[in-house]
């Protein structure tokens, strides 16, 4: 029972050969809300990792987590939807989590990625000074 939730995530759904291409594409690539899209990514990302392990012949470590619920993933989803304000909020949360996890004085690749993503987001929001500042911090951290 999916409690009335309607999900149409298959690109293989039947499409008529009529002239309403836009309507058909909406049926194939339509997400009724952002939370639905985030749930899709929460399962798609770990499955992608799992399948790549199988394809590369790596031994699997069990239990494999088949649900990935991270703040950075939410930031990526909102970025793909061109919702820069929400994306910025989640990248800021990701940066804070990385600073707490690795320390503010330690140059860690995940912290550098968060800084860079914040720089990209500020650029999209039109604040070039903040974008440059975050990107310079990321570059400096990657050089260390």
* DSSP E strand stretches across the chain: none
Q: What is the pLDDT of residue 45?
A: 86
Q: What is the pLDDT of residue 30?
A: 60
Q: What is the pLDDT of residue 12?
A: 46
Alpha-carbon distance of 27 to 9, in angstroms, equals 9
What six digits make up the tokens of 128? Answer: 């070039």
Helix axes of 71-80 and 84-102: crossing angle, nearest 10 degrees: 160
Alpha-carbon distance of 122 to 130, in angstroms, equals 6
Q: Which residues of the chain have pLDDT under 70?
A: 1-32, 61-64
Question: pTM for this one?
Answer: 0.71
Residues 32/6, Cβ–Cβ less than 8 Å: yes
Alpha-carbon distance of 57 to 51, in angstroms, equals 10
Q: What is the pLDDT of residue 52?
A: 83
Q: What angle do CA 47, 66, 100 make, to 5 degrees?
A: 110
């Amino acid at each position: 029972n999916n409690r009335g939730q309607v999900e149409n995530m298959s690109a293989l759904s039947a499409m008529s050969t009529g002239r309403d291409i836009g309507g058909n594409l909406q049926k194939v690539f339509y997400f009724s809300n952002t939370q639905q899209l985030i749930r899709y990514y929460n399962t798609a990302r770990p499955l992608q990792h799992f399948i790549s392990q199988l394809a590369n012949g790596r031994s699997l470590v069990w239990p494999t987590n088949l649900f990935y619920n991270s703040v950075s993933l939410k930031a990526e989803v909102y970025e793909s939807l061109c919702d820069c304000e929400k994306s910025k909020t989640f990248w800021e949360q990701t940066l804070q989590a990385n600073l707490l996890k690795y320390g503010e004085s330690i140059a860690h690749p995940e912290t550098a990625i968060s800084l860079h993503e914040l720089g990209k987001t500020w650029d999209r929001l039109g604040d070039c000074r903040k974008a440059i500042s975050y990107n310079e911090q990321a570059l400096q951290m990657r050089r260390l």
